[in-house]
Structure 1
Amino acid sequence: MSTDAAPGQSADNPFPVRGVAIRVAGWIDKLGAVWVEGQIAQLTLRPNSNTAFITLRDPAADMSLSLTCPRDLVVNAPVRMSDGTQVIVYGKPSFYTGRGTFSLRVTEIRAVGIGELLARIERLRRLLDAEGLFDPRLKRPIPFLPDTIGLITGRASAAEHDITAVASSRWPAVRFAVRNTVVQGPNAVPQIVEALRALDADPEVDVIVLARGGGSVEDLLPFSDETLCREIARCTTPVVSAIGHEPDNPICDLVADLRAATPTDAAKRIVPDTAAEQALITDLRRRSARALRNWVNREAHVVAQLRSRPVLARPLSAIDARADEIRRARSAARRDITRFITGESDRVGHLSARLMTLGPAATLARGYAVVQAVPASGDPHVVQSVADAPPGTRLRVRVGDGAVLATSEGEQ
């Protein structure tokens, strides 16, 4: 094996521990001073020591940094430093070669004031609103009667007692899946997010309640954390926010599917009241029965009115009245037809008499005759002059009671 490899690049030429530690310290020492923001997770002031040791935690992630600073910087700070205080520190990264540990040597500490906290919350509120996380159309409906309620709250807290007691009194069959977490301080957000994911993944949980009592702006700060708000928006199970009291309004209230003014209000809005629902059912049954009776009475009155009308009370009276009209019309028609026939018969008789008077038969009856020449071939024709009957012409003479044949002897 070659021994020409650079130090630390082969098993034959390794770095000693001090070599690595010195090199790491050199690399870190090249970093400039930085401003860092976080929450104090642990503050240690050792007796007879001029150095304070601080663990600074990221409230949105399970990450932390070790800080060292002069004791007077903590003791003489304008705001009392304690676990959970939001601070901004200025320091230079360093690597302690004796123990192989990394820390940030702090020369300035500033506590984040209420005004700045509120301004940051407002900026986050506008950002999430612009992304549509507050859109009412995204709100999931709360089930009418949840079988299991997921509850995230502090251990043995008043909020847990209020919700479980009120919900059980309203609907004794309701069940709870309780996840006790820290509800303030640097560890709150990771624990709440973990519990929220576990309850959302549980198929038996119908709704999740995030609850805690009232508190200061710093106490309620975890519930305005961006990580927690986005996790609530990603949940498939409806989430109810019951944080603090009525004036408190953390951002998670706007992201949640339902905001309750207090934990007690959350229990009332999620679980229906057995007595109230039973009273409502009884009232609805009474009102429906009364409405049905009124409808039946109204319809019976309408039927009675219809039956009392003449057309239904005496249905044949209209037919009888029409029958009399038909009989009268038939009599009048028969009378008119008879009169018309009689008149026409008389007129025909008069015309017939006149026709008989003017006709040739009447003339023949008075002694006249009609003479026709009967040629050997052709049709007979009436003789109108002497010239029409020369001697020898066969003649047919028609008289009133018949006709006789004759022969013309010529003109006389």
Structure 2
Amino acid sequence: MALETSPESPAPVRQIANAIAGWIDRLGAVWVEGQIAQVNRRPGMQTVFLTLRDAVADISVPVTCSRIMFDGLNPPLVEGASVVVHAKPSYYANRGSLSLQAREIRTVGLGELLARLERRRQLLAAEGLFAAELKRRLPFLPGTVGLVTAPNSAAERDVLENARRRWPAVRFQVGYAAMQGPRSAEEVIGALQRLDKDPEVDVIVIARGGGSVEDLLPFSDEALIRAVYAATTPVVSAIGHEPDSPLLDLVADVRASTPTDAAKIVVPDVGEELRLVATARERLRGTLAGWLQREQLALDALRSRPVLADPASLVEGRLEEVALLRDRARRCLTHQLDRAADEIAHQRARARALSPLETLRRGYAVVQDAEGHVLASVAGASKGTELSIRVADGRIHATATSTTSTTSTEESDG
């Protein structure tokens, strides 16, 4: 039942705390799966205090169990162990804290643990996190290599020493994290994300030495797998030895069998590269020498031909042909010019025959009055009219004294 409260009649803290305790008490016992993050055995107390952490999320809850139950577990319970707890939620009203009162604790066996890992692998594979087409190529010579490992560990020494032995100029950016225990996955994720954000880091190596399946369990953590999948920088997994196969190996871009193998993968061997460069140089020299020799032989063969031995022979053979063609061209052009000249003369004569000036040269004249009008009849030239007579070579200025009509003359003649 919900408590009826209001600003005028609020409920005291004890009532709210007791109500919460009553609600939680009605939940009953539940089975909970997680990892033991902390074990606290206080001297003289019959209760052992545990911290149970979620395998994926950063969530934990306190658990209490009797010392007799805790001591009777086989194998003994240690931090980092995966367990299944049958417990009843309990709310301690005096402190306002929630805890689980363990009634039974079962350590997850190796067979069951492997079965759960297999189910997790299948689910993640179905999502496409392990797809081969998502794997990225490692850079040939990374400027900076990111390394996620435990501080002062053998894996760190193996990676750094072997990488620098192969390529002395290689640079490392190390992100330290716990590589075992309940907080291992969380710290590895944090170090991975920090290195992934660094623009100078070209490849990231996650390295750890060998161990049991329980020791390598953090590297099959779902949150870590998804963090590696989301990383933009290529990731190399170097966990354990050759037989070890955590899920990190499947999502990483490259899997190294050991930390030493990871050092061989991320950087080339300077000695081997120098040998390859020397071999390539010799091959280039041999190829170039062979090509020059073939070209020289081809040139010698061309120069030995008569046409190249005496190039003027080709020109001399064509000189007479060019001279004949030139003469023919001159004759053809002369004939065309002669015909064109005759045609021009004929056209000029025709044009001159049609010219009014030719008519004047034959003895005709053009008579105009003072205003420039051409007179075609004697009617326009009365006595005393000033006249301008156009002849072939000039003009004659005259004054009309009289006019005679051609009709009257013909009549008088008749």
* More moved, 58-67 vs 212-221: 58-67
Q: Aligned residue for 1:249? A: 245
Q: Aligned residue for 1:273? A: 269
1:156 is matched with which residue: 152, 159, 164?
152
Q: Aligned residue for 1:173? A: 169
Partner AA of 1:304 in structure 2: D
Q: Aligned residue for 2:373? A: none
Whole-Å Cα distance in 2 between the matches of residues 9 and 76 of structure 1?
51
Whole-Å Cα distance in 1 between the matches of residues 122 and 309 of structure 2?
78
- State the SS of the aligned residue for 1:103: strand
1:304-341 deviation per Cα after TM superposition (whole angstroms, max 9, x unaligned): 34545677668899999x99xxxxxxxxxxxxxxxxxx
Does residue 9 of structure 1 match 2:6? Answer: yes
Partner AA of 1:250 in structure 2: P
Does residue 71 of structure 1 match 2:67? Answer: yes
Whole-Å Cα distance in 2 between the matches of residues 259 and 241 of structure 1?
5
Whole-Å Cα distance in 2 between the matches of residues 269 and 123 of structure 1?
31
1:293 is matched with which residue: 266, 289, 306?
289
Partner AA of 1:55 in structure 2: T
Does residue 131 of structure 1 match 2:118? Answer: no
Contact kept in structure 2, 1:59 and 1:189, CA below 8 Å: no
Q: Aligned residue for 2:195? A: 199
1:261-295 deviation per Cα after TM superposition (whole angstroms, max 9, x unaligned): 11111111111222222221122111111121122
Partner AA of 1:170 in structure 2: R
Whole-Å Cα distance in 2 between the matches of residues 228 and 169 of structure 1?
31
* 1:195-344 correspondence runs (5 A): 195-308=191-304
Whole-Å Cα distance in 1 between the matches of residues 314 and 4 of structure 2?
128
2:40 is matched with which residue: 27, 33, 44?
44
Partner AA of 1:257 in structure 2: D
Q: Aligned residue for 1:59? A: 55
Shift of residue 169 of structure 1? 2.2
- State the SS of the aligned residue for 1:206: strand
- State the SS of the aligned residue for 1:125: helix
Shift of residue 16 of structure 1? 2.9
Whole-Å Cα distance in 2 between the matches of residues 253 and 308 of structure 1?
69
1:175-196 deviation per Cα after TM superposition (whole angstroms, max 9, x unaligned): 2111111111110111111111
Q: Aligned residue for 1:389? A: none
Contact kept in structure 2, 1:8 and 1:14, CA below 8 Å: yes
- State the SS of the aligned residue for 1:250: coil
Whole-Å Cα distance in 1 between the matches of residues 5 and 210 of structure 2?
58
Q: Aligned residue for 2:95? A: 99
Whole-Å Cα distance in 1 between the matches of residues 129 and 4 of structure 2?
55
1:21 is matched with which residue: 4, 12, 17?
17
- State the SS of the aligned residue for 2:201: coil
Partner AA of 1:42 in structure 2: Q
1:83 is matched with which residue: 63, 79, 85?
79
1:19-50 deviation per Cα after TM superposition (whole angstroms, max 9, x unaligned): 22211111111112111011111112233322
Alpha carbons of structure 1 residues 171 and 9: separation in structure 2 relative to 1, 3 Å: farther
Q: Aligned residue for 2:360? A: none
Shift of residue 88 of structure 1? 0.3
TM-score, normalised with respect to structure 1: 0.72
Contact kept in structure 2, 1:59 and 1:187, CA below 8 Å: no
Partner AA of 2:38 in structure 1: Q
Whole-Å Cα distance in 2 between the matches of residues 191 and 228 of structure 1?
10
Whole-Å Cα distance in 1 between the matches of residues 78 and 182 of structure 2?
11
1:221-244 deviation per Cα after TM superposition (whole angstroms, max 9, x unaligned): 111111111111111111111111
Contact kept in structure 2, 1:58 and 1:186, CA below 8 Å: no
Whole-Å Cα distance in 2 between the matches of residues 267 and 240 of structure 1?
10
Shift of residue 303 of structure 1? 3.6
Partner AA of 1:277 in structure 2: E
Q: Aligned residue for 2:140? A: 144
| Runs of 5+ consecutive residues of structure 1 not aligned to the other structure | 1-5, 324-412
Whole-Å Cα distance in 2 between the matches of residues 154 and 266 of structure 1?
16
- State the SS of the aligned residue for 1:216: coil
TM-score, normalised with respect to structure 2: 0.71
1:163-184 deviation per Cα after TM superposition (whole angstroms, max 9, x unaligned): 1112222222222111111111
Shift of residue 140 of structure 1? 1.8
Does residue 185 of structure 1 match 2:166? Answer: no
Whole-Å Cα distance in 1 between the matches of residues 273 and 218 of structure 2?
37
- State the SS of the aligned residue for 2:129: coil
- State the SS of the aligned residue for 1:198: helix
Shift of residue 7 of structure 1? 6.5
Shift of residue 61 of structure 1? 2.1
**Number of aligned residue pairs:** 317
Q: Aligned residue for 2:107? A: 111
Whole-Å Cα distance in 1 between the matches of residues 50 and 195 of structure 2?
34
